[in-house]
Amino acid sequence: MVVWMRWAGLLLCAALAACAAPPQQPSAYPGQEDLREPTPPHELSPALRAASQALLVTPQSGHAWEPFALPGKRYIQFEPAESGGRAALLVQAQNSVSILRQRFEPALAAPGMLRFSWKVDALPTGADLHDPQNEDAPVRIVLSFDGDRTRLSSQAHRLSELSRLLTGEELPYATLVYVWSTTDALGAVVPNPRTDRIRKLVVDSGTAGLGQWREHVRDAQADYMRVFGEPPGPLLSVALMTDTDNTQTILQAWYGALRLDAALLP
């Protein structure tokens, strides 16, 4: 029986980075100088739940898609929307961290093909995935995996325990993140600056695709093998994440249809 390790590594590193980040002046669209108040995640609205079920197709799970808030962070809800003639989930990010995730219980035996689309109107100002004080990204798809935790370093174990204390969830064995980077080249692999158990694979980069729908089809198992150098363990969760808290940026991000194919545990 695979032991369930709840997803929190990326959240921990974002929280730790934000604690160290100095205050900065927010950027804003004209007429949007006043920041909205943080919205507690709570339950999804009926409209958002229906939109999530229609757009985000994954293997059967005992859990629906649900919001997840970082302690002390502004949370902006995802909203059902339409952009460019297609249905989407919109995040109007304002110095915030927005996460929508689905946990798998039991965990999935192995990931397969992952298809997703996204669109953004801007990039976080001064974002740098290598810098824990500026590690923001307009869009991410996050896959978290179980594995042989006896192989983790003592540092990873300490971070996992800190994660449990801060969020109630342990650091997963490994986390693969598809990301739009401000500066890194397409195909670059960027370890999280606080733990290499979280590694980002750049699938969009720079400003060239701003305002356009970007389509991606990925072999998640092959990508994991490339990024971590070993076969993936059971898949614990998948999540959408837009974060602009460290760079104090305002932007809009749309997530289109997502489909994840994966083998089920016997």
Residue 154 has a pLDDT of 73
Report whether pLDDT(32) > 80: no
Domain with 137, as residue range(s), is 61-263
- 44, 240 in Cβ contact below 8 A? no
More confident call, 24 vs 86: 86
pTM of the model: 0.83
Task: State the Cα angle at 190 between 186 and 192, rounded to 5°.
Answer: 150
Residue 265 has a pLDDT of 62
- 79, 98 in Cβ contact below 8 A? no
Report whether pLDDT(138) > 80: yes
195 CB contacts (<8 Å, ≥6 apart)? 9, 13, 155, 156, 159, 171
Secondary structure of residue 95 in the 3-state scheme: coil
Q: Compute how many other C-beta atoms are within 10 angstroms of the C-beta atom of residue 181.
A: 23
pLDDT band at 72; cut points 50, 70, 90: confident
Q: Is the residue at 193 inside a domain? A: yes
Closest among 117, 84, 116, 82 to 214, alpha carbons compared: 117
Which region among 13-17, 19-23, 47-51, 249-253 has the lowest average model confidence (pLDDT)? 19-23
How far apart (Å, rounded) are the C-alpha atoms in residues 83 and 254? 8
Q: Is the residue at 132 inside a domain? A: yes
Helix spans in the chain (H)? 9-20, 46-55, 154-167, 220-228
Please compute the mean of the pLDDT values over residues 66-80 and round it to a whole number. Answer: 91
Q: Is the residue at 11 inside a domain? A: no
Q: Is the residue at 92 inside a domain? A: yes
How far apart (Å, rounded) are the C-alpha atoms in residues 81 and 158? 41
Which region among 94-108, 165-179, 193-207, 226-240 has the lowest average model confidence (pLDDT)? 165-179
Which whole-number Å values give the CA distances from 177 to 4, 9, 21, 174, 239, in the listed order? Answer: 20, 11, 22, 10, 9
Q: Is the residue at 215 inside a domain? A: yes
- Whether a cis peptide bond, with omega within 30° of 0, leads into 71 is no
Residue 119 has a pLDDT of 98
Q: What is the CATH number of the domain that holds 234?
A: 2.60.120
Residue 263 has a pLDDT of 74
How far apart (Å, rounded) are the C-alpha atoms in residues 169 and 171? 7
pLDDT band at 40; cut points 50, 70, 90: low
Q: Is the residue at 203 inside a domain? A: yes
Q: Is the residue at 4 inside a domain? A: no
As a whole number, the mean pLDDT across the chain is: 83
Report whether pLDDT(35) > 60: no
Residue 7 has a pLDDT of 38
Residue 214 has a pLDDT of 98
More confident call, 160 vs 182: 182
Please compute the mean of the pLDDT values over residues 182-206 and round it to a whole number. Answer: 94
Please compute the mean of the pLDDT values over residues 173-198 and round it to a whole number. Answer: 94
Please compute the mean of the pLDDT values over residues 133-150 and round it to a whole number. Answer: 92
Residue 196 has a pLDDT of 87
Specify which of 6-10, 11-15, 91-95, 167-171 reaches the highest per-range mean pLDDT.
91-95
Closest among 200, 202, 164 to 182, alpha carbons compared: 202
Q: Which residue has the tokens 């952009």?
A: 83
Q: Is the residue at 7 inside a domain? A: no
Domain count within the chain: 1
